[in-house]
Structure 1
């Protein structure tokens, strides 16, 4: 099933379709967004609003759509995928980094609000993960892998499986006492 998550009606329809075909949503992984590199002096109102919609507001929409049934069943997991850039910032990614930092606030607030209903809400913050999508970036926007690796404690490229393992852990039944947390999956890039 596909949906334009920037369209509130499409999100409502998507959750309705999922629920009718598979049953109520127990686990929501908010892993949608975009990584537009726009220098600060070129970030206008439209670019700003678009980045926040793609990287923060759509996570609000999907979470808001699934939590009533989670509350009713008194169980659920919401895992938001943010970015290490939420903590480090990066030139050309001001709107993106701001939106991803907003996910940390959304996570913490939802953890407090939904925790009494048995719902755990956490965030993972991937670092430089090797992905096919990076080949679509213009060359002048790419970070050389060897430069990135020197920033990390673990000297290798992060893999999608590294992020998936953290999400699978947070989605499991053994994490019923972990909520409101931000888990960095970045090879030790950002130590806090």
Structure 2
């Protein structure tokens, strides 16, 4: 008689012993991701830029989940600051095993208002930062033959949207970065994927001018799942992609949009 294959037991904290760096982690999707990865056992580096109070609150939440972490303040548009930040993380908690490239900006302007300065800034903070961060942490991942890079793009990378041409272009660039890095780094045990959030309810949307805000009921009508997306929805997907169970998934883009776009 053939012995049936038994499913491996669930691991309560599959990221125990791993170090995760989340950029833009003081609030919103980044803070939710820090909590999700902490719940999975990872030591957390809360990356932020001049959001000291929010970052410390996020770090307190991480520690309440039974893991340790640090907060690191850096202007990621400065390559020297990126190198200093990574060295600080290595010194205080160890080499980065999991990088979540979440930092970015959401500049709203019409095409006619988009000049060279605005275009360059949008690409820098929504695409070049991700290249810069990935470049800084991958040597240590290659040394250890294990790593995860998860880029946070946007459904606008595929849908496009008036007033977000530069932003959508940068977020679409992350798909190419993800696919190419997956091929470059796969032989070293490093998986690279992208999540594309849809209309996620975050505090930052309250700072948008009223004429730039979509009515919640209009957005919900576009989706298969009739509710607002939450940061925890995105964080759960990122935590899965970071886990050992996702070791055969790389170069992929996963929509977290309630079925807004079906592809």
**TM-score, length of structure 2 as denominator length:** 0.73
1:116-140 deviation per Cα after TM superposition (whole angstroms, max 9, x unaligned): 0000000000000000000000101
Question: Which of 217, 224, 237 is residue 166 of structure 1 equivalent to?
Answer: 237
How many residue pairs were aligned? 192
Counterpart Cα distance in 2 of 1:60 and 1:22 = 23
| Distance across 1 between alignment mates of 2:94 and 2:171 | 30
> Superposition RMSD on alpha carbons, in Å?
0.4
Structure 1 segments of 4 or more deviating over 3 A?
none
1:62 match: 133
> Which one has the bigger helix percentage?
1
| Structure 1: tracts of 5 or more residues without a match | none
- Determine the structure 2 residue equivalent to 1:80: 151
> 1:82-121 residue pairs with structure 2 within 5 A?
82-121=153-192
**Number of the residue aligned with 2:87:** 16
- For residue 150 of structure 1, report the CA deviation from its aligned partner: 0.6
Q: Does 1:37 align with 2:105?
A: no
In the TM superposition, residue 184 of structure 1 has moved relative to its aligned partner by 0.2
Shift of 1:167: 0.4
Match of 1:46 in 2: 117
The gaps in structure 2 that reach 5 residues or longer are 1-71
Aligned partner of 2:10 in structure 1 is none
Q: CA deviation at 1:93?
A: 0.1
Q: Displacement of 1:92 after TM fit?
A: 0.3
Match of 2:73 in 1: 2
